[in-house]
Amino acid sequence: MEFTSSQGEQRYAALVRVAAETVVGLDFDGVLAPIVDDPSAAHIHPDAGEVLVGLGAQVLAVAVITGRPARQALDLGGLEEVGTAMGDAGKDLYLFGQYGNERWSSTNRRVIGPRPPHGLASFEGELPRVLRRVDAGEAYVEDKGLAVAVHTRRLPDAEAAFARLLPELEALAARHDLVVEPGRSVIEVRSPGSHKGTAVRTIVEELDAGGFLFAGDDLGDLEAFEAVRQLGDDGMPTLLVASSSDEENALVGLADVVVPGPAGVLTLLRQLTEDAASLRA
């Protein structure tokens, strides 16, 4: 792992000391699951389950905080099983789906969430015409129940299509009281209000956490980074981890540690597990 400064290294050491009170918050795509062309074909890294269960034994809790619908993340990640194994060891796995709009935990195994926002159905009705108008009629449209994600990754010139689409979708979303969440070759349209920073603050308060690690890779993780940085400014030991890629580096300059993709995230979490166990022994 590559610390971005000596302060980052000190933050890691401080977090190890409070591991038993620490919540580890993890994004899903790009952090636990490698990025693939087809969103429905994403899978959690093969080592993730074992790493998360080992980590769970050393920390207060593990929380997956994702833009995915909670049910989808549970299925693509095998997270029900991970939650069961953590539960057997007396620890909990938490899942915040759709940017904090949905919740699931290994103790309460139901996905809880709101109804779709007013305006989403009419937005979807107008979407095909807008896509065709900017020559993006072939974009993959992911219906997420509470949101819609327009993916450009599989279009011939994904970057140009993204640039043409963003202002159009911002305008259409605004007309339907919705907001856009741009990401890696994706523009998501959803209700305003909730974001990953809200999820971070919620779990800190609920569990009375004494430390926080968050790992992210994309623009949708910025609010979580801001929330964790605020916790750090207020005196809590924290660590911000950027899972790096060639396509998005917005988090790199804000992170304490930069790691190469999901494999790098898991290496760091293994190290944290070992260091926390050694200190406790």
Chain positions contacting ligand L263DTV3, by CB under 6 A: 27-30, 35-37, 39, 42, 66-68, 142, 144, 149, 151, 153, 183-186, 188, 218, 220
119 SS3 class = coil
What are the structure tokens assigned to 194, written together? Answer: 């909730």
The smaller minimum CB distance to ligand L263DTV3, of residues 43 and 280, is found at: 43
Closest residue to bound ligand L263DTV3 by CB: 67
| Closest to ligand L263DTV3 by CB, 13 or 141 | 141
Phi, psi (deg, nearest 5) at residue 211:
-165, 155
d(CA 218, CA 56): 24
CB of 150 to ligand L263DTV3, least distance (A): 10
**Smallest distance from ligand L263DTV3 to CB 216, Å:** 7
Can you tell me the distance from the alpha carbon of 134 to that of 239, in angstroms, rounded to the nearest whole number?
Answer: 41
Q: Which lies closer to ligand L263DTV3 via its Cβ, residue 30 or residue 264?
A: 30
Is the Cβ–Cβ distance between 76 and 68 less than 8 Å?
yes
Listing DSSP states for 171-218 in one string gives HHHHHTT-EEEEETTEEEEE-SS--HHHHHHHHHHHHT-SEEEEEE-S
Q: How far is the CB of 190 from ligand L263DTV3 (least distance, A)?
A: 9
Shortest reach from residue 261's CB to ligand L263DTV3, in Å: 11
Smallest separation, CB 82 to ligand L263DTV3 (Å) = 15
Nearer to ligand L263DTV3, 142 or 275 (CB): 142
CB of 19 or CB of 73, closer to ligand L263DTV3: 73
Pick the closer one to ligand L263DTV3 by CB: 183 or 232: 183
Hunting for tokens 């801001």 — which residue is that?
A: 226
DSSP, collapsed to helix, strand or coil, labels residue 93 as strand
Query: How wide is the angle at C-alpha 107 spanned by C-alphas 95 and 96, nearest 5°?
Result: 10
In whole angstroms, the minimum distance from the beta carbon of 210 to ligand L263DTV3 comes to: 25
